Chains A and B, each alone.
Chain A
Amino acid sequence: MRNFVSRMQLIALLVLFSWAAPAALFADQRVDETRPFKADGTVLISNISGSIGVIGTSKKEVRVEGTLGEGVEELKIEEKGGRLEIKVVYPEKSDRAEESHIRVLLPKGCEVHASGVSADVEVSGVEGEVEANAVSGDVTVKDSPKALDVETVSGDIAVLGEVGSIEAVSVSGDISIEKARGYISVEAVSGDIDLHGENVDKLKANTVSGDITFRGSFTKKGSCKINAHSGDITLVLPGGIEADVEAGSFSGSIDSDFGSSKYKETEFVSAVSLSFVLGSGDLRIRLQTFSGDISIEKQ
């Protein structure tokens, strides 16, 4: 009798566990895994929905912490030949998976590749090269990676630290760079581009309908080439620049705070152009729009 009761209790416990376990699997799962990793390796991180946080540390290890959303199959962490892949794996044909939010702490000298779809990406403390892609998520980069390559479709891009080389492309997201220097290439279709920087060596910026604004300074022999279709271009520069400036617009207007400017209209279309040279003219500035306005202002 006692054996029978014990056996029934065991069966009851097993039945209870079999009901409870799937429920646990479908709830948010906390993750916290740590692995040793070299100081200058390559880390690839991908997450479809939620967020990816990347933090550079002085430790020779990679730690992944956070929560996996309900319905997520697994968090895959795999190392191959010096490259560590961290991937939130969603079921192929399921619409039930919820957002996952992961933070990856890694050696600050690593090269980082982070990809999200509707996941926001934030990178801080990393000194190696950073590549970040998102579709509708926003990308924010703090501190000073060696080089930065960012691409979004509708997410915004914000670069808050001082980065020596930046390439940023967005379709409809806005691009904001606060401490530009060195080499900068930015492109957007309808997003606005807002740049602040000192001693920028080379700036290339293109938009179709978004506006482009640059406030700051260039190196003595730097170059600046900005092109917009219907968006406006605004440059705010120090009064003592020594530059060779050419600006043109087919149907927009051109205003300049700098003297010695001359306007001309071409024969075939109602285009206006402005050109002047200040001092040595070592800094080369070329601004073009189709219908947007151009404004060159003194700080």
Chain B
Amino acid sequence: MSAGMSHEEAWSLLDAYVDGEIPEGEMARVAAHVEECGECRREVERIRRLLARALLLPKEILPERDLWPAIEGEIGQAPAKAPARRFFLPRRRAVAWAAAAALLLAAIGLMSGRGDRGAPDVVTRTENVRWESHLARSAAVMTALRKECGGTGGDVARALSASRGDGAASRTYEENARIIDLAIAEVERAWIRNADDPELAGRLAHLCRMRAFLGERIAQSAMWA
């Protein structure tokens, strides 16, 4: 039998849950809690939007001028300092800081425009607006699809909790839910970069339907056991 997860415990696992990095046994428990907790659901959506934006950022942005000669000139002249203490941010804050820094650099790149030396990786303002628009449309549709396919999470958790079976239904659910969730994540990442592709949209919808089907069948089978 699987016990419900407390809000505090679920909250602490949301980053790992979105990344698919928690053990299989916990994925369904977190999913069941997220289904019933509005605060956690909104946080999951916020993390996904943040990661989606980070994916869209250009991989490389060249500075307007070459800074290295000035830096090289400073080396050896500055007094020795104790190495800075390293500290580790919780992953979501680290991503937020990285995204903020990259956005700042991107903004600098935008204001500089393309240099004569040809910095082809700098994103133009028009392209950036287009990606933002695609992201907004994609995120809204993805949220709706995920809500549909995750709609049975609560039913599954309740049925598995009440089941007198040997845990086989729970194992089958967790294993196959993980397969489908990984597939959904892969398609979402591709779709964000290519939101006009109807094949990707159709694939995402189909996977979400399979997810819902899986939840319904497992909930039924757990009740029979």
Contact = CB atoms under 8 A, between A and B. Distances in A.
Interface of A: 48, 95, 117-118, 135-136, 151, 153-154, 169, 171-172, 187, 189-190, 206, 208-209, 227, 229-230, 248, 250, 268-269, 288, 290-291
A153 B218 contact: yes
B206 A227 contact: yes
A209 B179 contact: yes
B186 A291 contact: yes
Given A229-B183, A250-B190, A290 B203 contact: yes
Nearest to A291: B186
B169 interface: yes
Interface in B156-188: 164, 168-169, 172, 175-176, 179-180, 183, 186-187
Nearest to A268: B194
A153 B206 contact: no
A135 B221 contact: yes
26 contacts: A95-B164, A118-B225, A135-B169, A135-B221, A135-B224, A135-B225, A136-B221, A153-B172, A153-B217, A154-B168, A171-B214, A172-B172, A172-B176, A189-B179, A189-B214, A190-B176, A208-B207, A208-B210, A209-B179, A227-B203, A229-B183, A229-B187, A248-B199, A250-B190, A269-B194, A288-B203
B92 to A, nearest CB: 27
Contacts of B197: 268
B193 interface: yes
A172 B175 CA distance: 9
A44 to B, nearest CB: 15
Instruction: List 6 tightest A-B contacts by C-beta distance, closest first.
Output: A135-B221, A268-B194, A229-B183, A189-B176, A117-B224, A209-B179
A205 B210 CA distance: 13
Nearest to B186: A290
Interface residues of B, number: 27
A47 to B, nearest CB: 11
Given A189-B210, A268-B193, A290 B183 contact: yes
Among A118, A169, A171, chain B packs the most CB atoms within 10 A around the CB of: A171
Given A268-B193, A290-B187, 20 more contacts: A48-B224, A117-B225, A136-B168, A153-B217, A153-B218, A154-B168, A171-B217, A172-B175, A189-B179, A189-B210, A190-B176, A227-B203, A227-B206, A229-B183, A229-B186, A229-B203, A230-B183, A269-B194, A288-B203, A291-B186
B110 to A, nearest CB: 22
Interface string B186-225: 1100100110010100010011001001100110010011
Among A117, A187, A229, A291, chain B packs the most CB atoms within 10 A around the CB of: A229
A203 to B, nearest CB: 17
A169 to B, nearest CB: 8
B33 to A, nearest CB: 23
A139 B225 CA distance: 18
A288 B199 contact: yes
B183 A190 contact: no
Given A153-B218, A206-B206, A269 B183 contact: no
A89 B93 CA distance: 57
Among A153, A169, A187, A248, chain B packs the most CB atoms within 10 A around the CB of: A153
A171 B190 CA distance: 25
Among B164, B169, B176, chain A packs the most CB atoms within 10 A around the CB of: B176
A132 B127 CA distance: 54
Contacts of B206: 206, 227
Contacts of A288: 199, 203
Given A48-B224, A227-B206, A208 B190 contact: no
Contacts of B180: 189, 208
Interface string B18-43: 00000000000000000000000000
A229 B207 contact: yes
Nearest to A135: B221
Contacts of B203: 227, 229, 288, 290
Nearest to B172: A154
Contacts of B187: 229, 290
Contacts of A117: 221, 224-225
B175 A190 contact: yes
A153 B171 CA distance: 12
B183 A208 contact: yes
Nearest to A250: B190
Contacts of A151: 217
A268 B164 CA distance: 50
